[in-house]
């Protein structure tokens, strides 16, 4: 693995989404996929990816809980987080944005759009 590759953590409870997003990103980035918010927090306390793609709606430990916990911890508060969600209603979008993520992507996301967003986010 190229040591210069940026590391992206993808957290989503849908295995198909994880598989697709990994496929889209794996040639350009080091990618870790996790299917639970709770496991993602455990991972984040040990490793520091350059960016997190985080599903907003997950059972138990949803994206909002993970982001709030990340923001409250010194070791994770500076990691940019992009919410992923299939929800397009105004209330969900507002709830996501009120948590001040680095960005917001609606699923399904096209490969070209995802790569452009990740490049833009990691260049900041």
Asked if residue 14 belongs to a domain, the reply is: yes
- Read off the pLDDT of residues 71-108 as tens digits, 9 standing for 90 and up: 999 999 999 999 998 888 888 888 888 999 999 898 99
Q: Residue 59 is part of a domain; what is its CATH number? A: 3.40.50.2300
Asked if residue 57 belongs to a domain, the reply is: yes
How far is 30 from 52, CA to CA, in rounded Å? 12
Asked if residue 122 belongs to a domain, the reply is: no
Q: Rounded to two decimals, what is the model's pTM? A: 0.93
Asked if residue 47 belongs to a domain, the reply is: yes
Q: Which residues pair with 11 in a beta bridge?
A: 34, 54
Q: Which residues pair with 93 in a beta bridge?
A: none
Q: Total domain count for the chain?
A: 1
Is 77 strand, coil or helix?
coil
Asked if residue 1 belongs to a domain, the reply is: no
Asked if residue 19 belongs to a domain, the reply is: yes
Asked if residue 121 belongs to a domain, the reply is: no
- Token pair, residue 103, equals 């960005």
Asked if residue 2 belongs to a domain, the reply is: no
Q: Which residues pair with 32 in a beta bridge?
A: 9
pLDDT of residue 2: 53
pLDDT of residue 124: 67
Q: Look up the domain containing 29 and give its range.
A: 7-116
Place of tokens 């590391």: 7
Sign of the torsion formed by the C-alpha atoms of 58, 92, 55 and 13: positive
How far is 117 from 69, CA to CA, in rounded Å? 24
For the cut 50, the answer to whether the pLDDT of residue 1 exceeds it is: no
């Amino acid at each position: 693995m190229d040591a210069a590759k940026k590391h992206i953590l993808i957290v989503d409870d849908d295995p198909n989404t994880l598989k697709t997003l990994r496929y889209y990103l794996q040639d350009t980035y080091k990618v870790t996929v996790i299917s639970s918010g709770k496991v993602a927090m455990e991972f984040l306390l040990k490793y520091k990816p350059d960016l997190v793609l985080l599903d907003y709606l997950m059972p138990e430990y949803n994206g909002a809980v993970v982001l709030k916990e990340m923001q409250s911890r010194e070791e994770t508060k500076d990691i940019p987080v992009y919410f992923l969600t299939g929800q397009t209603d105004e209330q969900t979008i507002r709830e996501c944005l009120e948590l001040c993520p680095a960005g917001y992507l609606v699923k399904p996301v096209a490969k070209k759009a995802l790569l452009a967003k990740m490049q833009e986010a990691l260049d900041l």
